[in-house]
Structure 1
Amino acid sequence: MTIPKPDAVDQILAQWNRERPDLDVSAMGPLGRLARLRTHLSREIDAVLSAHGLNSSTFDVLATLRRSGAPYRLSPSDLMATMMVTSGTMTNRIDQLEKQGLVERLPNPDDRRGLLVALTPKGRALVDEAVTAHVANQEQLMAALNLEERQALDTLLRRYLSAFE
């Protein structure tokens, strides 16, 4: 593995090491790079989703319904659990998607007081088109790493994420 050339985070670390040599700023390196990567990746992902008339929030709802399998419907609370948002936020997202004809609210046959959120045919077609473009974009975004590096990064990030979840 070749060592990459110094980046903006290296410059920040050098400045802190010069100004505050008493601090161990080594954790700032990976965290700063993750933050900067998030900004770059979000920009690229948002551009692809926007080309399909979606944003990351609306795509998340449609993709969650689509990957749940036929008949592509979930309760609002099940949707909320996978997306880690409040009920008010979830209601707002469902309202937006319903106005666009991408989802519909249906009575829950297992709970007379409950509802299910279901993909409409229009919603399914859109999310299938968007997820195809999204996956191709993700592949491009990871192209700087070979398969072995991707697997190593994934393993490290999984371990790191598990400390929080």
Structure 2
Amino acid sequence: MRDPQEPPQELAISEQVAVYQREFPNVDPQVETIVSTLSRLARRMSVAYSRHLTDLGISQADWEVMKALIVAGSPYRLGPGELARRIGLTPAAMTHRVDRMTTAGLVTRSRDESNRVRVNIELTELGREKWLESMRMAAVFEEALLQDADPGARADLAGALGRMLRRVEEHQPDALGRCDDLA
């Protein structure tokens, strides 16, 4: 008998698919196995990445801002409106996030020299170091995750997953109606 204080265990994927087949006999068990596995993998990877970021003293939200600034390229600077748009936040939510990150020394906020009305958000050296360390940690984790796949299998998997993602993006935009931010 299970202890009521103990969290319930997830079913094995094969058991989950068997339940789906029992309740909905038309389900393709191979497709459901793939999709269920991808879903569980994404959740578990998200937990692992969050732990890595916590070890660095940053949040997933911080990392998203740092990523947007890195993607913008050197000098890793964007206006708050553009930064909010790239991340999919409201300007108010972006202001709150930037305030917190400025206090932590991850970004700076300064007036644009060419347009004193405009404000720039720029990644600090500490922010860049934290982002790079998070990438190093992720690279080790991801390499271990894919250790059983040779380069050919990795290329095939990347191609198949990329095609699946494009199909979802074409028909299921994110919460703000965007598809273009998922490269």
- Tell me the TM-score normalized by structure 1: 0.80
Contact 2:105 2:126 in 1 (8 A): yes
Rounded to whole Å, the distance in 1 between the matches of 2:67 and 2:19 is: 43
Please provide the CA RMSD for this pair.
2.3
2:174 equivalent in structure 1: none
Q: Which 10-residue stretch deviates more, 32-41 or 82-91?
A: 82-91
**Distance apart, 1:53 and its partner CA:** 0.5
Q: What residue is the counterpart of 1:74 in the other structure?
A: 78
Q: 2:138 aligns with which of 134, 137, 151?
A: 134
Counterparts of residues 98-117 of structure 1 (less than 5 Å): 98-117=102-121
Distance of aligned partners of 1:13 and 1:130 in 2 relative to their CA distance in 1, 3 Å threshold: closer
Q: Is the 8 A contact 1:49 1:134 kept in 2?
A: no
Equivalent residue in structure 2 for 1:10, among 2, 14, 30: 14
1:51 is matched with which residue? 55
Name the counterpart of 2:161.
Answer: 157
Give the structure 2 partner of residue 24 of structure 1: 27
Query: Greater RCO between the two (CA within 8 Å, min separation 6)?
Result: 1
Distance across 2 between alignment mates of 1:143 and 1:92? 40
Distance 2:147 2:124 in 1: 34
Is the 2:68–2:83 contact (alpha carbons within 8 Å) kept by the matching residues of 1? yes
Q: Give the 3-state SS of the residue equivalent to 1:51 in structure 2.
A: helix
In structure 2, what is the equivalent of residue 120 of structure 1? Answer: 124
Deviation per residue, 1:75-98 (Å, 9 max, x gap): 223323332333333222211101
Say which SS state the counterpart of residue 73 (structure 2) adopts: coil
Please name the residue that 1:148 is paired with: 152
Identity of matched residues, %: 27
Uncovered stretches (5+) of structure 1, i.e. residues with no partner: 1-6
- SS state at 1:101 partner: coil
